[in-house]
Amino acid sequence: MGAHPLLIHPDVQAALEASRPVVALESTVIAHGLPAPHNLNTARRMEQAVREEGATPATVAVVGGAVRVGLDDEVLERLAHEPAAKVSLHTLAITLAREHLGATTVAATAWAAARAGIRLFATGGIGGVHPGETWDVSADLPALATLPVAVVCSGPKAILDLERTRQWLETWGVPVVGYRTDELPAFFSRASGLPVDVRVETPEEAAAIVRAHLALEQGGILVAVPVPEADEVPAERLSAWLDEAERLAADRGVAGPALTPFLLGALAHLSEGATLRANLALLVNNARVAAQIAGALNHA
Ligand code: PSU
Ligand code: MN
């Protein structure tokens, strides 16, 4: 593989060339974020939601020494069932050179989307600043600050230090747009007590701000969409489970890239599936909203 290891799926290429809306999707959530069979089902449902809104999905993964932008269903199946490396920006070149199967995080997916000329990207939660003094800060944050992509998500994962993550975004100039919310959503919960920079009610309003920000050529922008009300896990219910999950991780010495998948799994178990239901609902909803914004961006 040469210096440009980006393979854009023909459907995605055709949509980009015709200026039709495209939405990038990440694959770490398939390989590491959700248990089977929910992982494959959700990956397919997210692609379906994007299509229903008239956009083309471009799920990103590393396959056979190339970054693929847009996957056939057979690759989605491999990501759901085969061991796949969790690929962020510090491991992208390694996974490419070794020709391993790799599932891309928000950071690596945003890089691929930017390179492919895709402006909208939907995910569940972004990485951020972990609590404590470990200096575990997700590469998702500098990726957002530097890559020209709008990331539609439900806020930082609840397992993070939300205040520090929120502050990081402001310091590095990433606008936080609340989609029908005044507060930064906290992933499983709709509210965090932390402010967004602006509230919008429609895809058109979001698209206008996305367009203005991308024109600055200053990096990315976050569109924060709360989990649908029916599937929310309120913060009060979450906090005891979160304490327990963190205790389990500390006891077992789980840290670094393995921490997020471990905590999400522990929370799903402790909450008897409530956090998993919230996770699935917000992923599909975010894919839909991202496709609507992508459409508005192209039609204005
Ligand atoms: N949120 C989830 N599930 C996930 C992730 C986030 O609900 O699997 C993944 C995303 O791919 C995100 C990554 O980019 O975790 C962040 O990992 P880290 O903190 O190691 O950068
Ligand atoms: Mn991390």
What are the pLDDT digits (tens) for 194-216? 999 999 999 999 999 999 999 99
User: Residue 283 class from Cβ within 10 Å (0-12 exposed, 13-18 middle, 19+ buried)?
Assistant: buried
Q: pTM (2 decimals)?
A: 0.96
The residue whose CA has the least distance to atom 17 of ligand 1 is 127
**What does the angle CA 191 – CA 193 – CA 196 come to, to the nearest 5 degrees?**
85
Q: What is the pLDDT of residues 35-59, one digit of tens each?
A: 999 999 999 999 999 999 999 999 9
128 pocket-lining for ligand 1 (C-beta < 6 Å): no
The DSSP secondary-structure symbol of 130 reads: P
Nearest-ligand number for the alpha carbon of 255? 2
156 pocket-lining for ligand 1 (C-beta < 6 Å): no
Residue 158 has what pLDDT? 79
Q: Which atom of ligand 1 is nearest to the CA of 139?
A: 21
**What does the angle CA 41 – CA 43 – CA 48 come to, to the nearest 5 degrees?**
90
Active-site pick, 26, 47, 53, 232: 26
pLDDT tier, 300 (very low <50, low <70, confident <90, very high otherwise)? low
| Gyration radius (Cα) of the chain, Å | 18
Percent of all residues in the chain with a pLDDT value above 90, rounded to a whole number: 89
The string of DSSP letters for 224-275 reads: E-PPPGGG---HHHHHHHHHHHHHHHHHHT--GGGHHHHHHHHHHHHTTTHH
CA distances from 210 to 6, 120, 234 (A): 25, 9, 29
Pick from 122, 130, 196, 188: which is nearest to 162 by CA? 130
Active-site pick, 47, 157, 232, 246: 157
- 86 annotated active-site: no
3-state secondary structure of 204: helix
**pLDDT of 1 higher than 50:** no
CA distances from 83 to 103, 176, 264 (A): 9, 34, 18
32 pocket-lining for ligand 1 (C-beta < 6 Å): yes
Q: What would the mean pLDDT of 63-77 be, rounded to a whole number?
A: 98
**pLDDT of 5 higher than 50:** yes
70 pocket-lining for ligand 1 (C-beta < 6 Å): no
Domain locations along the chain: 6-298
Say which CATH superfamily domain 6-298 falls into.
Indigoidine synthase domain (3.40.1790.10)
Is the Cβ–Cβ distance between 186 and 275 less than 8 Å?
A: no
Q: Which atom of ligand 1 is nearest to the CA of 32?
A: 8
Q: Which atom of ligand 1 is nearest to the CA of 105?
A: 11
CB atoms within 10 A of CB 265: 18
The residue whose CA has the least distance to atom 16 of ligand 1 is 127
265 pocket-lining for ligand 1 (C-beta < 6 Å): no
The DSSP secondary-structure symbol of 186 reads: B
How many angstroms is it from 299 CA to the middle of ligand 1? Answer: 31
Q: What would the mean pLDDT of 116-129 be, rounded to a whole number?
A: 97
Mutate to test the pocket of ligand 1, among 105, 135, 189, 284 (most ligand atoms within 8 A of CB): 105
Distance CA 51, CA 63 (A): 23
Residue 267 has what pLDDT? 95
How many angstroms is it from 134 CA to the middle of ligand 2? Answer: 10
**pLDDT of 82 higher than 90:** yes
